[in-house]
Amino acid sequence: MEIILDSIFSTEFFFSVLRVATPLIFVSLAALVVKNGGVMCIAFEGMMLFSALGAVIGSAFSQSRLVGILVGLLLGMSISAIFAYFVLVLNSNGVLTGLALNILGSGGTVFMLYLISGDKGSSTALKSLIIPNVDIPIIKDIPVIGEILSGHNILTYVALITVVVVYILINKTPLGLRIRSVGENPHAAESVGIKVIKTKFIALMIGGFIASLGGIYMSMGYLPFFTRDMMAGRGFMGIAASNLGGGLTIPTFAAALLFGSAEALSNIMQSLRLPSEFMQMVPYIVTLIGLMLVGGNNKKLTFKKEEKNE
């Protein structure tokens, strides 16, 4: 028991929470923007796989980080553009389209990887670049807090900044208002002259941009290479976090951190000889419990609304 507490109440543990949570923060924010726009999108897994691979290929061939990031964003956002085209223009089923794009992400990335590097498992044959970790001046000298907050990957800080940016975008800008209104009631929005499809398209592209950053973090920050199916469900956990946060920025961020902590906890506890199957379940159990609580709350809210209406 003592070892467990020692492991949890250490700066390394809290440091690892941020590291583990970074991709979840990105995806959950992406899902949040899209959700606010009233679109049900589950294609984040595919977007992240493509952006992760794009970042590796781009940086390996150009030997420039910027090109890597741009290629990653381009590939990831092209998946969200395809999704947007099918769902918004061709009116296809969002869940099925998302599912198809996730499968395309899993198989398509391996196929691309094979064409380019002759390898089907990982990109270790390509000399891709990484985005470095940085120490933050002043903060790094504060005991405890410095050890937890300083020394992360640049993209981890980008994720934290993205939280603020998304908060302002959704709550304080005209575009955010338009996105929320088409999500809340597209007919009402249309009646006051908002272009519904265009706004939803913009929301999806912003979502694709943020999710792609998460993918790039996976292959240029968290790890220095791409491996097949490396997202391993993170896209879906991000969607769950945005649902848990009820489509609000700060609660969504908190939910992503919660999932990150659960994951980090399960990693530490496993080698302390708790049953591995149980520890692998922890992050998902936390997700389920969270969703149950939120589900209960939502029900109460709708009840209240209905009562008022009567």
Binding another protein by CB under 8 A: which of 1, 192, 273, 310?
A: 273
The token pair that represents 268 in the structure block:
């530490």
- Compose the 278-297 pattern: x for residues touching another protein by CB under 8 A, - for all others: --x-----------------
Q: For residue 74, how far is the Cα from the chain centroid? A: 17
Cβ at position 86, least distance to another protein in Å = 7
Among 232, 285, 288, 292, binds another protein (CB under 8 A): 232
Q: Assess 267 for contact with another protein (CB under 8 A).
A: yes
In angstroms, the CA 23 to CA 212 distance is 10
Residue from 79, 230, 256, 286 touching another protein (CB under 8 A): that is: 230
Smallest gap from Cβ 228 to another protein, in A, equals: 6
CA proximity to 220, closest of 71, 32, 42, 44: 71
Nearer to another protein, 120 or 172 (CB): 120
CA distance 106 to 236: 14
Q: Is 291 exposed, middle or buried (0-12, 13-18, 19+ CB in 10 A)?
A: middle
* Residue 276 sits in the site that holds another protein (CB under 8 A): yes
User: Candidates 37-45, 175-183, 274-282, 290-298 — which segment interacts with another protein by CB under 8 A?
Assistant: 274-282
Residues 158-217 that bind another protein (CB under 8 A): none
> 105 burial class (0-12, 13-18, 19+ CB within 10 angstroms)?
buried
CA distance readout (Å), 187 to 182, 201, 306? 8, 16, 21
Distance CA(55)–CA(109), nearest Å, equals 12
Asked if 91 is part of the footprint of another protein (rule: CB under 8 A), the reply reads: no
- CA 216 from chain centre, in angstroms, equals 11
Size of the site for another protein (CB under 8 A): 47
The yes or no reply on residue 89 touching another protein (CB under 8 A) is yes
Interaction site with another protein (CB under 8 A): 3, 7, 10, 12, 16, 20, 23, 85-86, 89-90, 104, 107-108, 111, 114, 118-122, 124-128, 218, 222-225, 227-230, 232, 263-264, 267-268, 270-273, 276-277, 280
